[in-house]
């Protein structure tokens, strides 16, 4: 996981950023801990989906503008999809409205 994170950070080549890959858990399980790190200003993405990083470059350096998360499925979430998603999150121990 460390090698994968380093490889992707080198591709991004933006200052003041880091890449974290995790295995065996869902990103939602560590978000609270990450948000409590005072040095972290933004979390652009926490997903198991494929992502693309939008980077801008100026004479001062490179910076992350945003992240494209997931793939365009061209679909709209149905009531059945919503129910399945909420059941999964509840099964993971989280409260859902």
Q: Token digits for 56?
A: 């801008």
Q: What was the pLDDT predicted at 80?
A: 95
C-alpha 95/C-alpha 53 separation (Å) is 30
pLDDT digit string, tens, across residues 24-82: 888 888 888 999 999 988 888 888 888 999 999 999 999 999 999 877 777 889 999 99
* Least confident among 18-22, 57-61, 77-81, 90-94: 90-94
Q: Does the structure show a pLDDT above 90 at 7?
A: yes
Hey, what domains does the chain have and what are their CATH numbers?
A: 2-91 (3.40.1520.10)
**Residue 26: Cβ-neighbour burial (10 angstroms; 0-12, 13-18, 19+):** middle
Tell which residue, 54, 61, 81, has the closest CA to residue 15: 61
Q: Token digits for 16?
A: 């003041």
Q: What was the pLDDT predicted at 48?
A: 81
pTM: 0.69
Sheet strands (E) in the chain: 51-58, 61-69
């Amino acid at each position: 996981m460390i090698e994968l994170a380093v490889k992707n950070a080198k591709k991004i080549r933006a200052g003041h950023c880091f890449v974290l890959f995790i295995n065996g858990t869902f990103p939602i399980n560590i978000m609270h801990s990450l948000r409590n790190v005072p040095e972290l200003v933004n979390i652009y993405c926490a997903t198991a989906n494929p992502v693309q990083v939008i980077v801008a470059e100026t004479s001062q350096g490179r910076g992350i503008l945003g992240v494209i998360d997931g793939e365009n499925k061209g679909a709209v979430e149905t009531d059945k999809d919503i129910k399945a998603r909420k059941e999964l999150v509840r099964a993971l121990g989280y409260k859902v409205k």
